[in-house]
Structures are given as structure tokens and as C-alpha cells.
Amino acid sequence: MPGIDDFTRPKEWIPDVAYGFAEAVRNFGRERYLPVRRKIDEDWRKHEIVEPLLKEALVDLGINKAIWPSEYGGMDIPREVIGTFTAVMSEELGRIDSGFAVAVLCSIWPMLPIALEPHRNQRLIEEFAPKFCGDELYVGCNAMTEPQGGSDIENLDALKGRTIRTTARLEGDEWVINGHKIWPTNSGKVADLFGVVCTTDPKAGEEGFAYIYVPADAEGVSVGEPYQKAGMAADMNTDIWFENVRVPKEYRAHGPGLDAKYFREIITFGNLGTAGFSVGVIKNTYEIVKEWVDERVVAGKPLKEHSISAVNLGEIATAAEICTHVLYMAARMVDRPDLYGEPWSPKVVAKTRAVSLFCSDMAVHCTNRAMELMGSYGYSREGDLEKHWRDSKMLTLWMGGRQLDLIEITRYFFECQTL
């Protein structure tokens, strides 16, 4: 009987370690997460349910350890499979809950500039790897978005960081940081460490772009109350203020020019994750709707046996199959810079934005189609679909949204000069 594992994954590209994690996430989903999934939306303010689950995923399953060298207790997933590993994990977690998926994977997202080959920062690995690989919950947060706009900060090729208002000033051996971030995944009381997009000089272009790590308990850091959103309640989002916050000067990821360069790799991995979450949503939508159309009888026969249902069912299955293909091709592209270009190149950023855009649009499309088939049952909490329907919209909105995706894709492929 066909199921989600019959949509084609490129088996020869996926490392055993990713299959091992995938199986663990599936078990965790079945036994721990899915029994409480319907309650997650009520937990947006306190995370009484979410926090222990986050610990299970990041600490007990070991997802927090994935990128760190083994001498610090990390899994040291090899650079040449890290994209594929990300695809598997984001897909499996997204199938359970895309809001939870983003909370889990955003923990290590800001650490990529210092943890990945070929640009490891040994000094910062020594400082932070033991915290991510320990027995206590330790969570990262990538703080980019500011009140005056998120997209412009991520639109690095056009705006070169000129709109960043969070400042970093070197005083002796310390950075002094002032500014205000909004929206980051895991902000509020969740995160222990922020990767903060700052500027040392907004007029200096990419040379002024600085990526600096700030412990959440540093003096001068404060956070606001969680925002109540349409969905994605397992991801907590709040304001973060930095007021004369001092951190050692070594806490800057790399330095002038290089921070902006490797920030593009953060965008690439964000695109890959978004595509993976979308594939997970589509596959769980397929599972939910499959059960429904098998059992639901209209006009004397199961819903799936009516030719008009094939319009929606066929589209959902097509999206699950094709989005899986493009997700793993994008992952492979990230894993093989020798063949496809560096993950921080505008080419790979644009191509992964295309994959993210296509897969997230398909997630929205499929949840809509599934709801049309399930009718009022799809719209009710018990149908288990409406959460994906609400959550999936966000997959098309963050990281500059569809517009910035399309702008960066067009800029690259049409060689635009002013876009």
C-alpha cells in the first residue's frame, strides 16, 4: 500500500546517519509529538508543552550536536552531506509540525558560519560547541529582522546591509551592541545564544556587516512578550533589545566582508529548510487526506472513487513527488560546491530561493486542496489539517517572502543591474 516513503528520495545520496535521525524523529513524532499536536496552539505564550519537547529533540535525539566536531561531543556530520542531512531533518520535522521544525533547526542555524567547513572558527567552536552538545537544553536564535524591515537586511546583494540599525562598536577588546530585533525564531525566553546581524558602519557596505554572538544572559539584553500568530505556535517570537551590551571582540563570526559572505550561506540553508518543511507539510497532508477519502462515502462510494476528486488528489500526490525531487536536488547542490558553486554564492542563494518558493507555494496549495476535499472536517481542529493550512502560509512569508525570492531569482537569471 503506497505511503509517504513511496515518494522518491534519492537513496544513493542520503547518508545512513540521516536515515538514523529520520527514524528517531518519526518515532518521536508518533509517540511524543502527535498525541499533543492539537494542544500546541494554546501553548504559544508559555511553551509548557513545547519546551520539554524541544529538549527531547535537541538534546535527547541529539539534533543540536549535528554540526559540531566530535572532540566536543558533536556528530560532525560531514560537509559533503550536510545539505542532504538538512533536507531529511526538515522534511521529517515539518511533517510533524512546521512551527516545531523551525524552532528545532533554528537552534543550530546561526552557528553555521562558525561550525561548517571550510570556514570553521576554532576559537568560537571551543566556546560554544560544549554548550550545544551538553545534557542541558541550549538553544540558538538567528536575529536578523528589525522593526524598519526584515527583507532589506536579507536583500544583501542590492542593499549591502545599509538598512541595518543594530550597531556594533569596538571598544578595546569588546563589541558594544545597541539595537532592536523583532520576530526571530526562538526569541523570548527560549534562546540562550543570539547570532545578531549588526553594522559597524552602515555606509561601509558589506565590510560593515557584522555577525556577532550574544549570550541571552548578557547584561543589557532584554526580551518582550511572545507574539500571538495565526499559527506556528511552537515557534516563539518576541522583540529583543540590546542596550550597551558588551561581548568579547572574538564573538564576531569572521570579520569585515566575510560575515556578509557567510550570511548568504545562512540564507541558503534557510531556503533549504523552508523547502524541507514544505515537503513535510505536503506529505502529512497526503497522509491525512488519504485516510479521509478512503473512508468518507459520498453519493454511494468512497470519495476517492469520484473522478472529480482526482483533480485534488492527483495534484497533492504530484506535489509530494516533485517537491521531494527538487528538495534533494537542492540539497545535493549545497553538498557539492565543486560541481554547483559555493553555498554563499548569489547563484546558489537564487536557486535555493526558487526551490523554497516552489515547495512552499505547493504546501499552501495542497493544504487548500485537501481542505476542499475534507470540507468542514478539514476546517475543524480534529481534522488535523487546519494547523498545516495555517502554518504553511508562513513558509511563503519569512526570509523576505515570495517577493524577495522572486527578486533574487530574477536578478540572478536575468542579470538585472538595478533590481
Task: Give contact residues for ligand FAD (rule: CB under 6 A).
Answer: 106, 142-145, 149-151, 155, 183-185, 229, 232, 235, 237, 394, 398-404, 407
Of 132 and 286, CB closest to ligand FAD:
132
Residue 143 CB, shortest distance to ligand FAD, in Å, is 5
Residue 251 CB, shortest distance to ligand FAD, in Å, is 18
Beta strands 239-248; 174-182: pairing state: antiparallel
Of 139 and 355, CB closest to ligand FAD:
139
Residue 230 CB, shortest distance to ligand FAD, in Å, is 9
Of 380 and 410, CB closest to ligand FAD:
410
CA-CA distance, 87 to 399, in Å (whole number)? 18
Three cell numbers, residue 162:
545599509
Residue type, 382: E
Closest to 98 in 3D by CA, of 391, 324, 401, 364:
391
Residue 296 CB, shortest distance to ligand FAD, in Å, is 32
Which residue number is nearest to ligand FAD in terms of Cβ?
150
CA-CA distance, 16 to 38, in Å (whole number)? 32
Of 155 and 285, CB closest to ligand FAD:
155
Residue 301 CB, shortest distance to ligand FAD, in Å, is 41
CA 334 to chain centre: 15
Residues in the chain: 419
Of 7 and 211, CB closest to ligand FAD:
211
Three cell numbers, residue 185:
525564531
Is 74:133 a contact under the CB 8 Å cutoff? yes
CA-CA distance, 208 to 259, in Å (whole number)? 9
Of 234 and 317, CB closest to ligand FAD:
234
CA-CA distance, 75 to 137, in Å (whole number)? 17
Residue 161 CB, shortest distance to ligand FAD, in Å, is 14
Residue 33 CB, shortest distance to ligand FAD, in Å, is 18
Is 117:57 a contact under the CB 8 Å cutoff? no
Of 324 and 396, CB closest to ligand FAD:
396
Task: Name the region of 335 (left: φ>0; alpha: ψ -120 to 50; beta: rest).
Answer: alpha
φ, ψ at 375 (rounded to 5°): 60, -140
As beta bridge partners, residue 179 has 242
